[in-house]
Structure 1
């Protein structure tokens, strides 16, 4: 699989402050990479280096096989900055068309691509309104339309859903899912765990300017545990035999203590339905089921010792 971005041992220093420290990761063609970390973790600094807005103090970044500052890269990238970059005295359509013009779009093609970009973020019915009448979420959606009007191969999004309404958040996530289907590569920075879980193929977790873990959700989960547990409270008959459950494919072990069953499995196995079917077959009454679930927030808390959204 082609690597369209390679970040190799990159650091950024401001005076005596080391904002990013020896960071390395890749982005594959057509992949959504989630850059996850709390506020102040170094995500925006990384984005600014990826787009050439600030220089690298140490290390190397290549985009599409060329150094990050190469001018040929610019038309292939769409940047959605954390701070809004829109013109309030222009309509939504005029804002998008202005940025399309910067990338050389003209005439009928410019109009068509402007309409597509506005439709992608759900603003086609508000195209002729000025953004000063928009909600904060609609303004952020407009910001995205301006970044994708030239149909870039790579879209870099820096905290695009901070402080917005649920409807706009869903529009944005659906737009990302559509871009992914169209083969776009996306870097998505956030400290909202549920968003990254929904859209990212792989995740890079950043804290205090360093990469503390990276991989798929399953790979990251396995960093903190190679098993998951299922706890079932039952009414135990005299002839109950734990071997009934140990024979279920995917079950590693079964422990019975008083009325409580603890069943361990590998993280990728979902054995609940099979286990319940066995219990039902033997007329075992189930009173309560609790399934231990590990997600990216669990991984982050385990690796850093602090909640994801802590400042």
Structure 2
């Protein structure tokens, strides 16, 4: 039975120790119903341990996990979860259909429903014409699609995705996310771990960042940007010759009796000028005019909006790498 007001997943004070190593140190967050949540963290942050705990592959040292308001080890809770692992869980010497039959039985899909589910999966993955082909001969992207289908054949209400697009080309990535969007539109809640920050930013409703076994950020991309790096734009300008001195830029500060002040940008001997601008529509023009007034011509310019990449670097000090 599902509690009417409970989140899809509720994780409270989750801890996991391996000897002296504490991989999870009081992790807490929720996954709302119908939400797509990106779960990020640098290598060694504890992401894999958390996914293993959710999938029942390791027992937490302390804390609770609830599925629709019920303990994760209660009847029906596990069946509500679907895991799509990073390592391909397929039988290369079986056909696509044979793999789907095997995983359907593993997940307890009733015999009377199995054929219908498999037919759906073949159409959903776009592999109906490859149903009788051995999976071992498929491309990486095709194997990922079969892997995804095997993980959701029992129609779970919560889908745990561990790097679902690792090692595939951009076209296959787009196809996989189109498939996931369909499940999400049908009401499935999705927890996505990925090393592709663009995927997390574009495909998720909310982002949770884990570092050293703890949640260090939780919110929408706009909330995370505002609370960390702010909404200012990074402006990079390349001029036609090295600066002889920093460029003085006048700035009007709004308020009671608008104040004017000057700030200096650039470094003598360099052709690249970098600065941050809060309001591009107001301050970009005076900045470029000041560069020209100092006798320099702009040869190139880049305006960079704050992104999840900047947030992640600000919070963890790390690039997110495979």
Report the TM-score, using the length of structure 1 for normalisation: 0.80
Deviations 1:133-153 (A, max 9, x none): 112222221111011112111
* 1:202-217 equivalences in 2 (<5 Å): 202-217=206-221
The aligned residue for residue 179 of structure 2 is: 175
The aligned residue for residue 238 of structure 1 is: none
Structure 1 CA distance for aligned equivalents of residues 216 and 233 of structure 2: 26
Cα distance, 1:199 vs. partner? 1.0
Q: Number of matched residues? A: 288
Structure 1 CA distance for aligned equivalents of residues 312 and 233 of structure 2: 19
Cα distance, 1:122 vs. partner? 2.8
The verdict on how the C-alpha distance between 1:263 and 1:36 changes in structure 2, with shifts beyond 3 A counting, is: closer
Choose 162-171 or 70-79, whichever is displaced more: 162-171
The aligned residue for residue 111 of structure 2 is: 106
Structure 1 residue 224 and structure 2 residue 228: aligned?
yes
The aligned residue for residue 79 of structure 2 is: 75
Secondary structure of the structure 1 residue equivalent to 2:8: strand
Secondary structure of the structure 2 residue equivalent to 1:71: coil
The aligned residue for residue 313 of structure 2 is: 301
Choose 37-46 or 221-230, whichever is displaced more: 221-230
Cα distance, 1:111 vs. partner? 2.0
Cα distance, 1:232 vs. partner? 9.3
The aligned residue for residue 302 of structure 2 is: 290
CA contact (8 A) 1:33 1:187 kept: yes
Deviations 1:100-122 (A, max 9, x none): 23423324x32222122233233
The aligned residue for residue 127 of structure 1 is: 131
Structure 1 CA distance for aligned equivalents of residues 276 and 26 of structure 2: 41
The aligned residue for residue 65 of structure 1 is: 69
Cα distance, 1:40 vs. partner? 2.6
The aligned residue for residue 197 of structure 1 is: 201
Report the TM-score, using the length of structure 2 for normalisation: 0.77
Structure 1 residue 164 and structure 2 residue 168: aligned?
yes
The verdict on how the C-alpha distance between 1:16 and 1:97 changes in structure 2, with shifts beyond 3 A counting, is: same
Deviations 1:187-235 (A, max 9, x none): 11112111111211111111222212111111111122333137598xx
Structure 1 CA distance for aligned equivalents of residues 109 and 215 of structure 2: 37
RMSD: 3.4
The aligned residue for residue 32 of structure 2 is: 28
Secondary structure of the structure 1 residue equivalent to 2:121: helix
Secondary structure of the structure 2 residue equivalent to 1:167: helix
Structure 1 unaligned regions, length at least 5: 234-240, 247-252, 280-285
Secondary structure of the structure 1 residue equivalent to 2:310: helix
